[in-house]
């Protein structure tokens, strides 16, 4: 008999993947609770971050204070217009490419 395409051939990998996903979701949930608590106590939470990757509709940021890396999707931000300018080599007189 052939196996179902939906069954996992190696349950060890499935458990490991599930554990990694659970850890990531737990970290995300803790971050949400922390930011909610900080916001209710002190107002908006504003921290320094570094952009570590850029895509056409998103960018990855590293927030050292929290020790997290997150992807920010531009199309989900509350802005009216956005665009992506790709500059393979920065041009000294072009402010978009600095």
Residues 32 and 57 in one domain: no
Measure Cα distances from 94 to 33, 41, 50 in Å: 41, 42, 22
The pLDDT value recorded for residue 62 is 94
pLDDT bin (cut points 50, 70, 90) of residue 78 is confident
pLDDT bin (cut points 50, 70, 90) of residue 73 is very high
Domain count, the chain: 2
Residues 98 and 71 in one domain: yes
Query: For residues 33 and 26, is the Cβ–Cβ distance under 8 A?
Result: no
Write the pLDDT tens digit of every residue in 36-71: 999 999 999 988 889 999 888 899 999 999 888 989
Query: For residues 84 and 57, is the Cβ–Cβ distance under 8 A?
Result: yes
| Domain carrying residue 97 | 48-98
Residues 58 and 23 in one domain: no
The residue-averaged pLDDT of 24-34 equals 91
Residues 9 and 32 in one domain: yes
Residues 42 and 6 in one domain: yes
Residues 26 and 37 in one domain: yes
With a pLDDT cut of 90, the percent of the chain lying above it is 35
């Amino acid at each position: 008999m052939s196996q179902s395409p939906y069954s996992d051939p190696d349950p060890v990998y499935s458990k490991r993947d599930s554990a990694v996903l659970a850890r990531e979701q737990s970290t995300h949930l803790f971050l949400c609770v922390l930011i909610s608590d900080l916001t209710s106590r002190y107002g908006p939470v504003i921290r320094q971050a570094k952009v570590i990757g850029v895509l056409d509709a998103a960018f990855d940021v590293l927030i050292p204070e929290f020790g997290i890396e997150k992807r920010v999707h531009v199309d989900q931000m509350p802005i009216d217009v956005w665009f992506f300018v790709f500059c393979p080599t920065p041009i000294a007189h072009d402010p978009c490419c600095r």
